[in-house]
């Protein structure tokens, strides 16, 4: 394995064979399998399995990350179990804390999580399911295997009201806006 300069490896961490831990990575109390790429990611109390890829500013905390799964860009997975061959897009997060306790997210094999998706735990993303970019999905929603889930708020433009701030505070103005 190759560990580049400016990498922090702390606690009870084990790194397998033929890995590449790139500049700026931080790994604490974690297991890193064989042939894993960590490219500036932060991994804490997690297990990253063989041939997985963790990219720049991606963060795993108390997460099992399956073989050949990828999270190549900024994002956060906490208290998650990720299967094999899963793709996690840029900006994906697990909202795992409800103010009093942590909840688990499960992402099954071959799932695809689109850019800027928010997975509100507890939740299970079934095998092969695709979550569309920008979706917020809660544990109340059933995600069937091999399905496409699009969960975005409806787009709305108000043509009659404008909110503005001045030295006297917030104001709502009734104003005709050109169509």
- Find the largest Cα–Cα distance for the chain: 66
Q: Which two tokens stand for residue 102?
A: 């942590």
Which strand (E) or helix (H) includes residue 96? none
Query: Burial letters for 28-54: b for 16+ Cβ neighbours within 10 Å, e otherwise?
Result: bebbbbebbbbbbbbbbbbbbbbbbbb
Query: Is 73 an annotated catalytic residue?
Result: yes
Contact between 128 and 110 under an 8 Å Cβ cutoff? The reply is: yes
Annotated catalytic residues are 73
């Amino acid at each position: 394995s190759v560990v580049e300069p400016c990498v922090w490896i702390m606690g009870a961490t084990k790194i397998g064979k033929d890995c590449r831990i790139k500049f700026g990575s931080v790994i604490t109390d974690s297991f890193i399998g064989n042939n894993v790429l960590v490219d500036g990611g932060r991994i804490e109390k997690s297990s990253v399995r063989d041939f997985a890829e963790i990219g720049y500013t991606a963060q795993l905390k108390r997460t099992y990350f399956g073989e050949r799964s990828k999270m190549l860009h900024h994002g956060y997975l906490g208290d998650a179990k990720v299967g094999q061959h899963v793709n996690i897009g840029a900006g994906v997060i697990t909202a795992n804390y409800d103010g009093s306790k942590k909840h688990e997210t499960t992402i099954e094999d071959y799932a695809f999580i689109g850019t800027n998706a928010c997975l509100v735990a507890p939740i299970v993303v079934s095998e092969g399911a695709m979550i569309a970019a920008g979706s917020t999905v809660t544990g109340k929603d059933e995600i069937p295997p091999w399905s496409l889930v699009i969960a975005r708020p409806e787009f709305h433009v108000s043509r009659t009201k404008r909110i503005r701030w001045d030295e006297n505070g917030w104001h709502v103005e009734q104003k005709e806006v050109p169509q």
